[in-house]
Amino acid sequence: GGRLRDVQATGRGAHPVAGIAGYCVGHVQTELDLPEIDQNTQFSYPSHLAKPLKILIQASDGASDYGNKFGEPVIAGYCRSFRGVDASLQRCEWIKPIMFSAGIGWLDEDTGI
């Protein structure tokens, strides 16, 4: 709710139009993974955390549904999946997801800053 509140905090002249959302998650494991690359780098996720693919689907659905209820549809965004392994085979990825959001709108000229 904070992002929508921020738009309205500009005053009476605020007109939200649309939202954008971005997601950064760990490795989205799919059948397209190359076995020769992944053979020594299979890592599991802690049982109390959702897997990246589930996060992408459910977070995107939630952000779209929330914005639509307030008349501010999500019209653009991005997702980024990352997994790396250093020389000692230590995992390097986004275990916890990161979500970015922003809004597109306008202020009336006579009520703007």
As a whole number of angstroms, the distance between CA 53 and CA 72 comes to 25
Mapped onto helix, strand or coil, the DSSP state of residue 2 is helix
Q: What is the pLDDT along the chain (113 residues), one digit of tens a residue?
A: 567 677 777 777 778 888 889 999 988 876 666 555 555 555 677 788 888 888 889 988 888 888 888 788 889 999 998 888 788 878 788 888 888 888 888 877 776 55
Phi, psi of 16 (to 5 degrees): -70, 140
Cβ-in-10-Å burial (0-12, 13-18, 19+) of 27 comes to buried
As a whole number of angstroms, the distance between CA 79 and CA 26 comes to 11
Predicted TM-score (pTM) of the model is: 0.70
